[in-house]
Amino acid sequence: MADDEKVDRLDVSDDTAHQISVDPWYQVGFVLTTGVNSAYVLGYSGSIMVPLGWIGGTCGLILAAAISMYANALLGRLHEIGGKRHIRYRDLAGHIYGRKMYALTWALQYINLFMINTGFIILAGQALKAIYVLFRDDGLLKLPYCIALSGFVCALFAFGIPYLSALRIWLGFSTVFSLIYIVIAFVLSLRDGITAPAKDYSIPGSESTRVFTTIGAVANLVFAYNTGMLPEIQVSHCSST
């Protein structure tokens, strides 16, 4: 009887600070929302729609959304495999392909996260500089100083929030600010589009330039609906029984 009542629990990957199965579903939803739909989405008009045009850009975004949803669904189903919960990309890659792929995935994931966070810090520095110019355009606060200040604040936040489950209330602030930012930008763009004179929306540049910009736009489509921490986000909510 005791054996029948025993609940088998899956092993968890070693050497991790992530909290397992402690977050409610809505907190995980906030993490996914802010992780995929960040301030970068406002740049897709210039990095995707301009190089590909209205038809190519729209079709590309729809196709990228469908492929990303399918790929992430497959990845989610591989969360528990081989009697173990793989809570990071590198754990899953190592289990399926071996130690070399574990190391390669680890390196690529951290390069990806480094580039993303570097972009956020530069963007935050530019925003801080723009706010300063609104009140005092004396040139005393240089852009590098703003970027350094943003990086310092980001580092403090990273030390204070060592794992995803510790975000808590910060997810609410992030979601609200992101929504406000996106709504304001959308309304202003809509107003300018209605009041401004007709524009030429044909794809700019020479044929050789269009080749390179198209390649860059397709690369942006690959990352448009994905996040580099899906297994980590999934494990914070999924039950281990």
pLDDT at residue number 240: 44
Annotated domain spans of the chain: 25-78, 163-197
Instruction: Write out the chain's pLDDT in tens, 241 residues.
Output: 444 443 344 455 555 555 555 667 777 777 777 666 666 676 788 888 888 988 998 999 899 889 888 887 887 777 777 677 777 778 778 888 888 988 998 898 888 778 878 888 888 899 899 889 988 888 788 889 999 999 999 888 878 777 666 777 777 787 788 788 878 888 988 888 888 887 777 888 888 888 888 988 888 888 777 766 677 776 665 544 4
User: Own/partner pairs for 193-197, CB < 8 Å, 24+ apart?
Assistant: none
pLDDT at residue number 177: 81
Residue 204, classed as helix, strand or coil, is: coil
Strand order in the sheet with 80-81: 11-12, 84-85, 80-81
pTM: 0.65
Neighbours of 191 (CB within 10 A): 10
d(CA 133, CA 123): 15
